[in-house]
Structures are given as C-alpha cells and as structure tokens.
Structure 1
Amino acid sequence: MKALVVYCHPKPVSYTHAVKEQVLSTLRAAEAEVRVIDLYGEQFDPRLTGQELTLYADVAQNQSGIETHCADLMWCEALIFVYPTWWYGLPAMLKGWLDRVMVPGVAFHMPAEGEDIKPALTQITQLAVFTTCGASWWLTRLIGAPGRRTILRGVRLLCAKGCKTTFAAHYLMDSAQRPSLTAHLARVDRKVKRMVRWAK
C-alpha cells in the first residue's frame, strides 16, 4: 500500500498532530509505504498566482515549483488528509494546496466542449479524511460539512472508479476531555487498519 498523508496544522504540538502520528504509526506497523506532506512544516505557499493560473491548463509547465507534490500525488494508492476543520471547511493552507497541486495532467484531464473533466488519479483506490471540529456533529451537518464534501465527493471523482472512502472526525473539540480524545485515537487506528486490509 502506497499512502500519501497530507497534513495541515500550524502548531507542532496539537491534537491534530496526535491524530497524524496515530495514522503514521498504524500505517508503518502494517509495513505500508508512506510519504508525508507537512504543509506548515515546509511553509507551503497556498496562493495561486496569476502566472500559475495563466499556465494552469499547460501540462508541460503547470507543475513548475510543485513538482515533488505532483509526483507524490501520482505515486500514491491511498490519499489521506489530516487537518482541523475551521469555519466548517478546510484550512486556507489545505485549500490552497488543492488549488495549486490538483492541476490538469496530474489530477484530471481537461474536458472537451460540453463535457466534464476526466479523472487522472485512477491509481488512487482509497481516500481518507481525519479531522477535528469545534462544532457538534449535528451543527456541522446542518451547515453541510463542506470540507468533507470537497474531498470525499469532489476529489474522489478524480480517483479510481469505486474508490473507497474513510472518514473520522472528533466533534466538540473546544470542550473535549482526555477519555474522548483517547477513544478517538483508537478509532483512527481501527479505521487505518481497515484501509490496510482493503489494500490487500
């Protein structure tokens, strides 16, 4: 199993960091091949520039400056996102990564007139989100859970047909206590182990 973990959190010590470490520990214990993109750790620039937008559809040039990220994306069979949910959606850093790295020729193929884009990440058979939310489950669902929708629906359309999805969120983070936090890490472990079984 070739797993790419895209991690997004600005603090080196956080519960989201603990979730990421649990994901990595479980993957490595299962002898999966793992690559990690730490967006804040590498000070990734999430801004899509005017020049990048001009070259967006040019598959010969649109990977300039993001070559390693694109290569990792095209390498993986399982794409895993670990991030906090802020304002019911993705952190700006992660949204910017999608804007800049999910380019034509890497993530999808540009459509012919009157058609939708065609998937290019067809080697990805599993897609996962591990996140935290300050809001409750019901309030997040009332708003529409746009972060979950963007990745598990939108990005999934670029992956293999029948791509399996995994989702785990810890809600009400602002008032969470240790027993709940510990139990959630165990849940993350179980879900990652299930992903590994699916890959066999």
Structure 2
Amino acid sequence: MQKTLIICAHYENQGYLNDIYQQISKTLVSSGHALETITLYKESFDPIRSEYEDKMYKMGIEAPSDVQKYSNLIMHSDQIIILFPLWWNGYPAILKGWIDRIFSPNRLNNPTRITENIKTQVKLIAFYETPWIMEPIKETKEALEITLNQGVWGRMGYHTMPIIWIEDQRELSKEKVEDRLNRIIHKVQLDSQEDQ
C-alpha cells in the first residue's frame, strides 16, 4: 500500500484550494492509499526557527515534538503532495518556516538524518486567486521551480515533478472550474499509479 502525505499551507476551510485538497484526499483513499495529512494553519504550526532550537541540535538534543512528528511522516511517505497559495509571487511564510524547521542545517548535520534512502516523490500544487497586480509572472514560476523543486526537495534527494499551476477561477463557469478540478485530480492519480 502506497503511503501519501498531503501538506496544505492555507488557512481557509472553504474555496477552490480546499476543494482540491478534499478531492485529492478522497481519490487517493479510494485508490487504496494510506493517507496522512498536515494542515499547517489548523495545527497552529509555529514557523519560527529559533536560536534555542538550533542550539539544541548542535548539542545533540532531540528535536521539538512537532518537528519530530512531521519528520516521521516525511520519512514514512512514498509520495508527498504540497498545496499552497501564491501570494506576491511567493509561497506562504508558514510553508517557508516549515521547511526551515524540518530541514534545519544544524539538525541535518547530526548522524540521524531524515533524508536517507529516499524514493519519495514530491508534487507541488500552487494556486493563485488574486488581483491582477499579484498574479505571478513567468519568471516567478521559473524561480519557484528552481527554489522548491531543485533548491529544497531535489537538493535533499527527493524526486520532484513540475509544479502544477492553478490560475484564477473567478471568471470561469462552474462547469469549467469542475473540469479543471477533475483534470488536476486525474493527473495526481495517474502520477501516483506510475510511482507504484
């Protein structure tokens, strides 16, 4: 049974991104996946990597309980799906802080690494529903591909795929919105089957 971890970095319980989150979850469960989820805002995750926390790692002290929990979920996942909104051509601070704390350089210098024997596939889904002034430019998309796929997950040894970009839905008919949602679900499900 394939183990999938979904990480959602958005505070809304409603809206299109939440619909994607719910539908992907249902589809993967119905396909036989063992599913774990992390909803960073609901879990009140603290994104601040403190000086004290870094000193703990240097002294060989175990990571805080939240970092341990998320690290264990990552270690035991066959694929990781990360959903996040795009704000001012970047990803949310809470997701950046999550990466900073889970993959703290001082922590990874310890003998017990969380990135050994990696076969995990990482898939990123970015959504923007913003005024035109905040819509991502081409260079932003290219930069995020490099930063997240190559600079973070790829550098850590994970297998990555091109980011799935979901543009503003507000001007579309209900039928077109649902069609886009179905195509996203199909792509995630198809990729998941190929990974097995």
Give the alignment's TM-score, normalised by structure 2.
0.82
Partner residue in 2 for 1:80: 81
Give the whole-Å Cα distance in 2 for the aligned partners of 1:157 and 1:179: 40
Is the CA contact (8 Å cut-off) linking 1:119 and 1:158 kept in structure 2? Answer: no
1:153 aligns with 2:150: yes
After TM superposition, the structure 1 = structure 2 runs for residues 135-150 of structure 1, keeping only pairs within 5 Å, are 139-150=136-147
1:172 Cα offset (Å):
2.9
For 2:102 and 2:119, locate their aligned partners in 1 and report how far apart those are by CA, in whole Å. 16
Structure 2 unmatched runs, 5+: none
Whether the aligned pair in 2 keeps the contact of 1:132 and 1:170 (CA below 8 Å) is: yes
Instruction: Show the counterpart of 1:199.
Output: 195
Uncovered stretches (5+) of structure 1, i.e. residues with no partner? 111-117
Two-structure CA RMSD over aligned residues (Å): 2.8
| Candidates 126, 133, 136, aligned match of 1:131 | 126
Shift of 1:64: 4.5
Give the counterpart letter for 2:104 in structure 1. V
Shift in Å at residue 11 of structure 1?
1.3
TM-score, normalising length: structure 1: 0.80
- The AA in structure 2 aligned to 1:10 is Y
Using the TM superposition, name which of 29-38 and 143-152 deviates more. Answer: 143-152
Residues 149, 160 of structure 2: 8 Å contact kept: no
Which amino acid is the alignment partner of residue 125 of structure 1? T
The answer as to whether partners of 1:57 and 1:104 remain within 8 angstroms in 2 is no
Q: Equivalents in 2 of 1:139, 1:83: separation in Å?
A: 14
- Give aligned pairs, total: 189
The corresponding residue for 1:29 is 30
CA distance in 2, matches of 1:166, 1:58: 38
Shift of 1:43: 0.8
Partner secondary structure for residue 3 of structure 1: strand
